[in-house]
Amino acid sequence: MDVPWPRRPAARRHGLRQDAAATMLDAARELSHGLGVSAFITGTDTDVGKTYVTRLILATLRNEGIDAVGYKPVACGNRADATILAAASGDLPRDEVNPVFLKPALAPLVAAMLENRNITLAELMQGYQHLAARHASVLVEGVGGWEVPLAPGLRVADLAAALALPVIVVAANRLGCLNHVLLTVNAIRSRGLTCAGIVLNQLEDEMDTAMITNKGVLEDLAGVPLLAHLIYGQDFLEVDSLLQFA
C-alpha cells in the first residue's frame, strides 16, 4: 500500500535541531517500513539527470532498510537507464523495471509509430501495480519532460495523473532553470497533483552566476521545497534531505 509523502513542515526551511530531525527520521522510517512511499520523478527536460537522481534516492532508501525499487515504464534509444535502475533495485529483472523499450532515440509517440507499436496507459499501469504489490516503495521515472507524448492522446503527465503519486522535479542547474522549473511545477499543479519538491542537479563542475543564484531563489519562486542541490559528480544523497518528503 502506498501513501503520499506529506508536505515538509514550514520549520524545516529554517533548519531543525538535530534531536527533532532524528525524531522525524525515526517516524519516516516507521512509515516507510509499515506502509510504503512512492513517487513519480520527472524532469524539466531530457538529460537533466532523472535516472541519476532516482538511483541516489533508491540507494538511500534501501540503505535505510526500505524495500524500494525503480520503474522506468518507457525507454527509447537504449536501456542504459533501465539497467541502472534494475541494479539499484536489488537486481530486479530489467523487463520488470522497463516493460516498454523502443529502439529509435525519439519521443515515444514517434518511436512507437516507426515500430508499428501502440503504447497504452493500461500496460504502463499494470507494470507499476506489479511492482507496488511486491515492494514498499516504487520510484517511477518518467521519460523526457512532463508533456512528452507517449501515444496519441497520452502524455507523461497523463501517466503521472493516473498514478496519483507525489511528483519530484529534477532540474539541471543552468541559465533558464528558473523558467523551466516554474513551468513544470505549475503544470503538475494543474493536474491536481502534489509537487513534493525539486532536486537541483549540477551538470558541470564550473559554476556561473546563474547557477550560484538559482539555489537561493528557486524554492520561494516555486513554492515547493528544494530537496537537494547535487554538486557535479556527487554519488550520495543525504538521508536528512529525505525527511522533507519521506
The more confident residue out of 79 and 237 is 79
Distance separating alpha carbons of residues 179 and 220, to the nearest angstrom: 13
Better pLDDT: 41 or 16: 41
Q: Given this model, what pLDDT does residue 99 score?
A: 98
> Residue 234: is its pLDDT beyond 90?
no
- The whole-number average pLDDT for the span 93-122 is 98
Grid cell, residue 199, equals 532536486
Portion of the chain with pLDDT greater than 70, in percent:
82
pLDDT at residue 142, as a whole number:
97
- Count other Cβ atoms within 10 Å, centred on residue 35: 12
Residue 24 confidence (pLDDT): 37
- 22 has a pLDDT exceeding 60: no
Indicate if 50 belongs to the active site: no
Digit-coded pLDDT (tens) for 93-106: 999 999 999 999 99
Q: Which of 50, 72, 103, 215 is catalytic?
A: 72
CB 92 within 8 A of CB 58: no
> Which of the four CATH numbers 3.40.50.300, 3.40.50.150, 3.20.20.70, 3.30.420.40 does domain 37-240 have?
3.40.50.300
Distance CA 37, CA 166 (A): 9
**pLDDT confidence of 238, banded at 50, 70, 90?**
confident
The owner of cell 493500461 is: 122
Q: What is the pLDDT of residue 208?
A: 85
What's the pLDDT at 84?
Answer: 98
Strand, helix or coil for residue 206: coil
User: pLDDT at position 27, please?
Assistant: 40
Tell me the one-letter amino acid at 115.
Answer: E
Higher-scoring residue by pLDDT: 14, 55: 55
pLDDT at 105: 97
Q: How does pLDDT run across 180-212, given as a tens digit for each residue?
A: 999 999 999 999 999 999 999 998 878 789 888
Q: What's the pLDDT at 207?
A: 79
Weakest mean pLDDT among 11-15, 173-177, 181-185, 225-229 = 11-15
Query: 231: pLDDT confidence band, cut at 50, 70 and 90?
Result: confident
| Per-range mean pLDDT, top range of 31-40, 68-77, 202-211 | 68-77
Sequence ranges of the domains in the chain: 37-240
User: Are the C-beta atoms of 141 and 39 separated by less than 8 Å?
Assistant: no
Average pLDDT over residues 228-232: 89
pLDDT at residue 77 tops 50:
yes
